Amino acid sequence: MAATTIRNLSGFSLSWLLVVAGGFALLRLMPGDPVIIFLDASGLGADGAVLERMRAAWGLDAPLFVQFLDWLARFISGDWGISYATGRPVLPEIAGRLPWSVTIGAGGLGLAVIVGFRLGFAAAARPGGVADRLSRLLAIGAQALPAFAVGFVLLWLLAIEFRLVRPLSGGVAERLFLPILLVALFSIGSVARVTRVAFCEIRDRPYFTTALAKGCSRRVALWRQGRRHAALTLLAVIMPEAAWIIGGTAIAEIVFSLPGLSEYVVRAVAARDYAVLQAFIAIVALWLLLVQRAAALARRSLDPRLADQLEWRDA
């Protein structure tokens, strides 16, 4: 047990470290010099002496490997650096915005899984029925429609026409309702289609036929015999949805004017604010790895036969 825990923690840490190291290198390859951008925005002259002094002050004159090790040591110790654009510490800025983004992302993913799973079962129980057509429509719509346009439609319908929520002036729950719904809508269809396929696979299994022979209806037999298999299948493919949640959350925050990470990160991209962008990459990497780990643990609890296969390369 101890060896497995150490191996899993090592795999987690190494995966996170590789992602943040790759992100650190890619940020430096972006066109644009943060020092020049800062001086231009401030209306100051960008002569050679000033550029060299500012690069030295911001630690940009050191070799890339040294810069990364210095950032990593400070990040782990709780010093996430100073924003080039605002001159304020990055950690308090992100700490104040992160709860909004996490709530929208986790809430949207959770709602998509719950609704999508039930919709996928209903679609499998009655192929060609209303639920089947609805799941197909949602899956196609998620690929064809821009999320920001759907967000404006939800805002117009639920806030202006029907006055059900006050997303801009209401309480926290009202402000979060539409963003979570928007994020979930773009994942429900794909979750439902994956779940439908998994449930349909059960209809050809002998134990499904046995359940029918015992007197169960097709719907009851499908649910009892197929829900575990469908859950395992869904957990195995949850990572693409977790990745979409990041972009979906950004769109939701912008459309509904929420003080999450999105606007902060967009301004950081324009300013080439490495301290903010590197912290954001580290948080995103942590989110994806945690979702992967949680899915792997859930799969093992549903099927103990997977216990020996629960390695980071296979999770």
- Residues 4-20 have a mean pLDDT of 88
DSSP per-residue letters across 189-224: HHHHHHHHHHHHHHTTSHHHHHHHHTT--HHHHHHH
Specify the pLDDT at position 75.
94
How far is 131 from 192, CA to CA, in rounded Å?
9
- Residue 37, pLDDT above cutoff 60: yes
**Strands annotated E in the chain:** none
Domains and CATH numbers, the chain: 102-261 (1.10.3720.10)
Q: Which of 233, 236, 239 is nearest to 198 (CA)?
A: 233
> Under a CB-based contact definition with an 8 Å cutoff, are residues 279 and 90 in contact?
yes
* Gap between the Cα atoms of 279 and 273, Å rounded: 10
Q: Tell me the pLDDT band of 312, cut-offs 50, 70 and 90.
A: very low
% of the chain beyond a pLDDT of 90? 60
Of 260, 313, 289, 269, residue with least CA distance to 26? 269
Residue 73 has pLDDT above 60, yes or no: yes
The pTM of this model reads 0.87
pLDDT at 154 over 50: yes
E-only strand ranges, 101-244: none
List, for residues 233-261, the tens digit of each pLDDT value: 999 888 888 888 888 999 999 999 999 99
Task: Name the least confident of 74-83, 148-157, 222-231, 302-311.
Answer: 302-311
Give residue 45's pLDDT: 64
- 137 pLDDT above the threshold of 50: yes
What's the rounded Cα separation, in Å, for the pair 185 and 165?
18
Residue 51 pLDDT grade (very low, low, confident, very high; cuts 50, 70, 90): confident
Q: What span, in angstroms and rounded, lies between the C-alpha atoms of 44 and 264?
A: 24
Give the per-residue pLDDT at 50: 80
Judged against a pLDDT cut of 90, whether residue 141 lies above it is answered with yes
Average pLDDT value for the chain: 89
pLDDT at 232 over 70: yes
Lowest mean pLDDT among 160-169, 271-280, 303-312: 303-312
Q: Is the pLDDT of residue 186 over 80?
A: yes
pLDDT tens string 24-35: 999 998 888 898
Report the C-alpha gap between 37 and 33 in whole angstroms.
Answer: 6
| Residue 89 φ then ψ, to 5° | -60, 140
| Closest to 248 measured CA to CA, from 162, 176, 147 | 147
Residue 315 banded pLDDT, cuts 50, 70, 90 = very low
Looking up tokens 């801009």 gives: 168
- Whether the pLDDT of residue 314 is over 60: the answer is no
Per-residue confidence (pLDDT) for residue 181, from 0 to 100: 96
261: its two tokens:
């990470």
Per 3-state DSSP, the chain is made up of helix, strand and coil in percentages (nearest 5) of 80, 0, 20
Q: Is the dihedral of CA 272, 275, 276, 281 positive or negative?
A: positive
Q: List the single range of 17-31, 64-78, 157-171, 175-189 with lowest mean pLDDT.
A: 157-171
